[in-house]
Amino acid sequence: MKRFISFLLVCLLVFSLAACSNGETSSGKTSSTANPESKANSEPVNLPEDEEYPVIRINETAFYGTPPANGDKIQEALNVILREKAHAEIEFVYVQMSDLKTQLNLLLTGGDDSLDLLSSFWYAGVGELASTGQVMAIDDVLASSGQGIQEIFEPYSEVLDCGRVNGKLYGIPSVCAWTCENCYLVMEDIVEGAGIEFPEKIANLDELTPLLIKLKEANPDKYFIAGSTSPYWIPKTIDYLGDANYFGVILDPENSTKIENYYESEYFLNFLENVKIWKENDLISPDPMSNDTAVLGNLSSKITYGVTGYDYNLKNTIYEAEKQNSYDGPILGTQIGEKYLTSANASTYMWHITSFCKDPEAAMRVLNVLYTDPEAANILMNGLEGVSYVIDENGQLEYPEGVTNHQEAGWFAMYNAARPNGFLCPTWNYSRPDSYDLLKEDNATAIKSTALGFTPDLSPVADQYAACANVIAQYYAPLVNAVVDIDETLPVFQQALRDAGIEDIIAEEQSQFDKWLAAK
């Protein structure tokens, strides 16, 4: 369970997660206060009473390996609301976390068992989903059946635009944190034992590495970088335009409009220089290519005693970890670099109507309820009162008597960043009571990327993209885990990307971006 909680905290980190505001000061930072809550609850849909309810199939990630014990109860409780307000029902389709991409690929190929609604986190970005034809453009159905969603995003049009490709809307961001920061988390007793201080914020990895070396000198039998086939470093101070392969990126998202090759950039080269130092000083955990543990799981299982990662609000993450004793002791955290509001961050958690949906209007009506109706939003996010939670004297949620974790409670609670509108729901008693306020403040004050609202259409370079993705699969993990000679392998990797067509990808993205900027 600790590994599961840790795993969610790295993605959430509320969740702290993902966004954009549309008032900008001369410094490039947003000035309006982000508060995207429901403006209007969904009203009942007046459709013929004798008409059958369409069933909308929606994916749910089975974090525990099997469907949750109370999944059927929660599905039916939602359907009671949806029959009245959306004139539709939903059916949960459980997808194993360990085989998520393979199973979702099968559910997005057409046929009777295809999904209607897709939550795309951990699967693919909106640009890729649009170019592969797995999701449909939803402008028309949003206008006809998603009025509540439109009202929510009216003050945050740039956030909604993060779901656009070539001017068409293919996804709707979740209402949650829309900003992100890189960070380092470490066990407090390890830091105190080493006699050093971890600052609340540092500028970059160059400032982190000397601290890690001191930790290693005081703890020679412990490790402080979680080597793994699961990415342990996601660069949140650049804008990678929603592409998890980072082919074309904006290295200075506050000021630049140039899209560059990440793998030949000073940023990436500097990252690898730090990796070499980590390897030389035995900071990376052993046998990284056999470790597929999600980043924070390494800290909870003590594979490492510190981890790099990203976060949506470090204050709340540390508070939650202490309240739940997620890591067998208190942790400290330091922010690395600035907090940015980019299309990549804002589109991390997104909802789509698939191209195989037989009733897109019904699917949008369901989404409209889940984004605007507090009762429905809370059931989807937290389950049922008296079953998966009870309400304490402070109005926060806690486990029912005899229940000690979410798996025993029988539902995937705490997963609010990926839900349509977590801000409509109460917080758990292990979260700061003001956790949502912290996230909204982050949304309002983070530095906005020049590309906020832009997502490239990858279909013109689909062949090059697939070829470059194969190169990444071959070289990236061995490089960043230092299981190969970095100086020898890096130029081979870079040339393989050039041969596969990375320059074509970047040129196409830059052309589209220039046109997008000119049209603003």
Residues 197, 206: contact at Cβ < 8 Å?
A: no
Q: Out of 343, 367, 383, pick the residue that ends a domain.
A: 343
Residue 230 sits in the same domain as residue 84: no
How does pLDDT run across 100-132, given as a tens digit for each residue? 889 999 999 998 899 999 999 888 889 889 989
Q: Out of 343, 359, 381, pick the residue that ends a domain.
A: 343
Check whether 41 has a pLDDT greater than 60: no
DSSP state, 326? T
pLDDT bucket at 358, cuts 50 / 70 / 90? very high
Alpha carbons 295 and 76: distance in angstroms, whole number: 35
**Region 68-84 average pLDDT:** 97
Residue 277 sits in the same domain as residue 138: no
Please give the residue range of the domain that contains residue 221. Answer: 180-343
How does pLDDT run across 215-261, given as a tens digit for each residue? 999 999 999 999 999 889 999 999 999 888 999 999 999 999 999 99
User: Would 438 be classed as within a structural domain?
Assistant: no
Alpha carbons 46 and 216: distance in angstroms, whole number: 66
Predicted local distance difference test score (pLDDT) of residue 16: 36
User: Would 5 be classed as within a structural domain?
Assistant: no
> Is the pTM of the predicted complex or chain greater than 0.85?
no
Tokens matching residue 518: 């000119």
Residue 162 sits in the same domain as residue 220: no
User: Would 443 be classed as within a structural domain?
Assistant: no
Parallel/antiparallel/unpaired status of strands 331-341 and 89-96: unpaired
Residue 189 sits in the same domain as residue 338: yes
Predicted local distance difference test score (pLDDT) of residue 275: 98
DSSP state, 113? T
**Region 331-349 average pLDDT:** 93
SS3 state of residue 131:
helix
Residues 144, 435: contact at Cβ < 8 Å?
A: no
Predicted local distance difference test score (pLDDT) of residue 405: 87
Predicted local distance difference test score (pLDDT) of residue 369: 98
Residues 455, 165: contact at Cβ < 8 Å?
A: yes
User: Would 451 be classed as within a structural domain?
Assistant: no
How many degrees, rounded to 5, is the angle at CA 54 between CA 52 and CA 60? 145
User: Would 440 be classed as within a structural domain?
Assistant: no
Predicted local distance difference test score (pLDDT) of residue 433: 92
User: Would 360 be classed as within a structural domain?
Assistant: yes
Least confident of 152-156, 177-181, 330-334, 377-381: 177-181
Determine the residue type at 389: Y
How does pLDDT run across 24-39, given as a tens digit for each residue? 333 333 333 344 555 5
Nearest to 363 by CA among 119, 100, 49: 119
User: Would 378 be classed as within a structural domain?
Assistant: yes
Q: Which residues contact 221 (CB under 8 A, 6 or more apart)?
A: none
pLDDT bucket at 9, cuts 50 / 70 / 90? very low
Tokens matching residue 231: 């990415």
SS3 state of residue 482:
coil
Predicted local distance difference test score (pLDDT) of residue 326: 86
pLDDT bucket at 12, cuts 50 / 70 / 90? very low
**Region 338-355 average pLDDT:** 93
Alpha carbons 430 and 418: distance in angstroms, whole number: 19
How does pLDDT run across 283-310, given as a tens digit for each residue? 999 999 999 888 888 999 999 999 999 9
Predicted local distance difference test score (pLDDT) of residue 97: 80
Residue 488 sits in the same domain as residue 416: no
CA 87 to chain centre: 30
Alpha carbons 156 and 159: distance in angstroms, whole number: 5
pLDDT bucket at 1, cuts 50 / 70 / 90? very low
Residue 350 sits in the same domain as residue 327: no
Residue 197 sits in the same domain as residue 332: yes
Check whether 212 has a pLDDT greater than 90: yes
Predicted local distance difference test score (pLDDT) of residue 48: 56
Predicted local distance difference test score (pLDDT) of residue 295: 87
How does pLDDT run across 384-420, given as a tens digit for each residue? 999 999 999 999 999 999 998 889 999 988 667 889 9
Predicted local distance difference test score (pLDDT) of residue 305: 97
Q: What residues does 61 pair with on adjacent strands?
A: 95
Check whether 64 has a pLDDT greater than 80: no
Alpha carbons 159 and 178: distance in angstroms, whole number: 8
Predicted local distance difference test score (pLDDT) of residue 494: 98
Residue 192: CB atoms within 10 A of its CB come to 12
Predicted local distance difference test score (pLDDT) of residue 440: 93
Residue 202 sits in the same domain as residue 271: yes
Residue 211 sits in the same domain as residue 76: no
Residue 213 sits in the same domain as residue 309: yes
User: Would 137 be classed as within a structural domain?
Assistant: yes
The mean predicted confidence, pLDDT, of the chain is 89
Residue 156 sits in the same domain as residue 205: no
pLDDT bucket at 99, cuts 50 / 70 / 90? confident
CATH number of the domain encompassing residue 135? 3.40.190.10
SS3 state of residue 446:
coil
Quote the number of domains for the chain.
Answer: 3
Q: Out of 343, 367, 388, pick the residue that ends a domain.
A: 343
Residue 135 sits in the same domain as residue 184: no
The radius of gyration computed from the CA coordinates of the chain, to the nearest angstrom, equals: 22
Alpha carbons 296 and 232: distance in angstroms, whole number: 9
